[in-house]
Structure 1
Amino acid sequence: MRRAGKLMLLLLLVVPLTACWNLEEPDEQAFVLGAGLDYTKEGEVMLSSQIVIPSGIGGSEDGGTQKQDSFRMMKANGKNVYDAVENLQKQISRTLFFGHRQTIIIGHRMAVHGIGGFMDIFIRNPQSELRSTIFVVRNSEAKDIFTITPIFDPIITPTLAREIRSMGLKPYYFRDFLTVSMSQTTQPLVPLISKNKLHKYVYAGGAILNKDDDLKLIGFLDAREAQYANWILGNLKRFAVTAPVKNGDGNVSVKMRTMKHQVRVKPSGSHIDVDVHLTGKGIIVENNSDLDPTKRTDLMTIQKTLSESTQTAIAEMVNKVQKQYKADIFAFGENFHRQQPVRWKTVMPKWKETFPRVHITVKVDIQCKDPGQTSSSLKNHFKAG
């Protein structure tokens, strides 16, 4: 018993020493909240990092104390990402810590060059935060985004993720990007941002990358097209549709909060059909037409018009991706694999060449369950007056 007690005491003394001997204190670390990758004209990687300054967060000017900056954007070049990290480390006295990174931003030139060769460190490094949101910048460099001061937050990195959520989209994490990039056939559709003349960021849509060619940039979708694509992928939680109404002499806006998608692959011989069925339910938030949504016939007219106009727009987007970019960003190949696993074995090796020839049909059904607190539009009352 005494021997067991001595052994326990020895373990209690040894474990803390062996577990904490290399632990760094927070005031010895530089916390990186955002990382940007740009490709220089000299063929090097430019790593830009948004490093938080704790003393600048929550500070005020009360009492004559001037508020400090909440972050510092620093950059360094290197032959690869780690080489750039080492060169950046030489500029600061604290150890860089990437475990709290919230955002990865890819510059336009880097996206054109291809980012596949620079992804290894993000997977290999145990500090790498796979829940970091990832973005591509159009017509600008990643480092320029980190210099933007947002309206509500002291730092731009959390703002970008909130922007995606505010638009009804699911956050696009780095782990999602890796999953798609390592899939059999699906090409990544990465959220796209740009910088305007007022030095503010703008959500600009989506960037299509080619996982079969070093993740090089293929092309872009604008903001509305990217939302349509994410609806097909099941990544859209809410959406607003506005369209002119037939025989209504005006337009109607519907805000949908119930979004569903269904994809059915139907191979027949050498012919492949893909049926996409999208449904949305919501409320009428604005009615500038002559129609009365409390009347069933008028409500049906509104629903039919909104469904048809949205269906046409989505079909045009799908055709653009299929014929112009020839990239399966919709995971149709993955659906084929799940629904027809035996047939997929023969189609998969040639899916890249087959996808542009697939016959894709889009069907959209929009329902307005709640017409609001009024009947016909106020427009009718103004006309009557």
Structure 2
Amino acid sequence: MRRAGKLLLALLLVVPLTACWNLEEPDEQAFVLGSGLDYTKQGEVMLSSQIVVPSGIGSSQDGGGSQKPDSFRMMKANGKNVYDAVENLQKQVSRALFFGHRQTIIIGHRMAVHGIGSFMDIFIRNPQAELRSSIFVVKNAEAKDIFTITPIFDPIITPTLSREIRSMGLKPYYFRNFLAESMSETKLPLVPLISLNEMHKYVYAGGAILNKDDDLKLIGFLNAKEALYANWILGNLNRLAITALVKKGDGNVSVKLQTLNHKVHVKPSGSQINVDVHLTGKGTIVENNSNLDPTNRMDLMTIQKALSEATQTSIVEMVNKVQKRYKADIFAFGESFHRQQPVQWKTLRTGWKEAFPLLHITVKVDIQCKDPGQSSSSLMKSFQKPG
């Protein structure tokens, strides 16, 4: 019995030493935190990568953490496809490139116009591919340009982009979401869009619509406000700020919505397909420049009605733009039809692309201001001259 116990102990001691014999040590790897894909004028893929330089990361003399300017390096290489570019990039680095900790994937404008579908295979096939990487499209610029930006709060741009999305109330858009939408039967991807301003700083610019039926080529853009509205319909929005003119109050009112809900109902009616979208939001009045008193029930109803109608008008315009100009179901109406009307869907599934521009879509927005803020009527009344 004692002999068997000793043998078991020996085996337990040996297993940890032999199980990892073929793994590379951390100091033999180059950790890639961000990847960018651009399409060159010569028809090649340009891969840009933001790589950690461990020697540049350490503790300062006073005990606090510090980041040296050379803690991260942006490197790039061209290739016939993504893997060929990876191999050419590897020739510039003395450590093995490791993409398992990648946080961000950025698609350049020219690459989006060319179509990225034929370059996605490596991201699915490679076991190192990080499906939780956030993905973005750059408008009127290349992906490599984004990696040269120095953000305000972070040492590098890769985590900043994801935090920016969350700070605006949007749910994170990961590469796994992009893959699911790209393989969807009806839905087209709406990818977060960024651009560069004249100060060489990034700005959130809205959403890029990609055509999954044509090599994921760029169809068009939604601006920042339109993209937020589209994500409200999709249920991907946690909060939203709205400002609207209240004519009866002779001024504007701003509300911060922190409870957002959506309902989509699709129902055939003869030869027509009706889509009813109902959006609701509850929040706090954060600024009141009208002469109405939100603590007064009638005034509050006037404010809510004005906010609801103005927002509804803007969303209807956005939906019409997507439906008539781009003819792209980014709202997952086809998936809603499939769930709600499975029998009828069988006869329509192959023709949904042609049916989408003909849908009869109605949008209803209801905004409620549950908290009028810390004051009653606007301070504007206090500054008006009596008379």
Matches within 5 A, 1:208-227: 208-227=209-228
Identity of aligned pairs, percent? Answer: 83
- Describe the SS at the equivalent of 1:186: coil
1:9 CA drift (Å):
4.3
Q: Which structure 1 segments of 5+ residues have no match?
A: none
Count of residue correspondences = 384
Q: Is the 8 A contact 1:57 1:154 kept in 2?
A: no
Q: 2 CA distance for matches of 1:325 and 1:58?
A: 50
- Post-superposition CA distance 1:190-231 (Å, at most 9, x none): 000001111100100000000011100000000000000000
The code of the aligned residue for 1:19 comes to A
Q: What corresponds to 1:255 in structure 2?
A: 256
Q: What corresponds to 2:154 in structure 1?
A: 153
Matches within 5 A, 1:1-385: 1=1, 4-5=4-5, 7-57=7-57, 67-384=68-385
Q: 1 CA distance for matches of 2:217 and 2:280?
A: 33
Q: Is the 8 A contact 2:56 2:67 kept in 1?
A: no
1:107 CA drift (Å):
0.3
- Post-superposition CA distance 1:37-66 (Å, at most 9, x none): 000111111000000123334565989x99
- Describe the SS at the equivalent of 1:247: helix
Q: Is the 8 A contact 1:60 1:67 kept in 2?
A: no
Q: 2 CA distance for matches of 1:16 and 1:376?
A: 71
The code of the aligned residue for 1:266 comes to K
167 and 58 in structure 1: CA distance in 2 versus 1, 3 angstrom threshold: farther
191 and 201 in structure 1: CA distance in 2 versus 1, 3 angstrom threshold: same
Q: 2 CA distance for matches of 1:296 and 1:315?
A: 28
54 and 358 in structure 1: CA distance in 2 versus 1, 3 angstrom threshold: same
The code of the aligned residue for 1:358 comes to L
Q: Is the 8 A contact 1:55 1:68 kept in 2?
A: no
The code of the aligned residue for 2:212 comes to K
- Describe the SS at the equivalent of 2:248: coil
Q: 1 CA distance for matches of 2:17 and 2:376?
A: 74
The code of the aligned residue for 2:36 comes to G
Q: 2 CA distance for matches of 1:256 and 1:27?
A: 48
1:364 CA drift (Å):
0.2
- Post-superposition CA distance 1:114-135 (Å, at most 9, x none): 1011111111111111100000
- Describe the SS at the equivalent of 1:232: helix
Q: 2 CA distance for matches of 1:2 and 1:22?
A: 33
Q: Is the 8 A contact 1:170 1:237 kept in 2?
A: yes
Q: Is the 8 A contact 1:39 1:110 kept in 2?
A: yes
Q: 2 CA distance for matches of 1:220 and 1:146?
A: 22
Q: 2 CA distance for matches of 1:366 and 1:55?
A: 53
Q: 2 CA distance for matches of 1:6 and 1:209?
A: 63
The code of the aligned residue for 1:52 comes to V
- Describe the SS at the equivalent of 2:281: strand
The code of the aligned residue for 1:236 comes to L
Q: Is the 8 A contact 1:57 1:70 kept in 2?
A: yes
Q: 2 CA distance for matches of 1:343 and 1:250?
A: 48
- Post-superposition CA distance 1:1-23 (Å, at most 9, x none): 35633642452354234311112
160 and 200 in structure 1: CA distance in 2 versus 1, 3 angstrom threshold: same
Q: 1 CA distance for matches of 2:375 and 2:317?
A: 35
Q: Is the 8 A contact 1:70 1:155 kept in 2?
A: no
Q: 2 CA distance for matches of 1:159 and 1:174?
A: 17
Q: 2 CA distance for matches of 1:299 and 1:319?
A: 30
Q: 1 CA distance for matches of 2:333 and 2:58?
A: 47
1:373 CA drift (Å):
1.3
Q: Is the 8 A contact 1:289 1:379 kept in 2?
A: yes
- Post-superposition CA distance 1:98-117 (Å, at most 9, x none): 01000000000000011011
59 and 3 in structure 1: CA distance in 2 versus 1, 3 angstrom threshold: closer
- Describe the SS at the equivalent of 1:284: strand
The code of the aligned residue for 1:261 comes to H
Backbone CA RMSD of aligned residues: 1.7
66 and 122 in structure 1: CA distance in 2 versus 1, 3 angstrom threshold: closer
Q: 1 CA distance for matches of 2:6 and 2:175?
A: 49
Q: 1 CA distance for matches of 2:197 and 2:294?
A: 40
12 and 66 in structure 1: CA distance in 2 versus 1, 3 angstrom threshold: closer
Q: 2 CA distance for matches of 1:358 and 1:245?
A: 32
Q: Is the 8 A contact 1:53 1:69 kept in 2?
A: yes
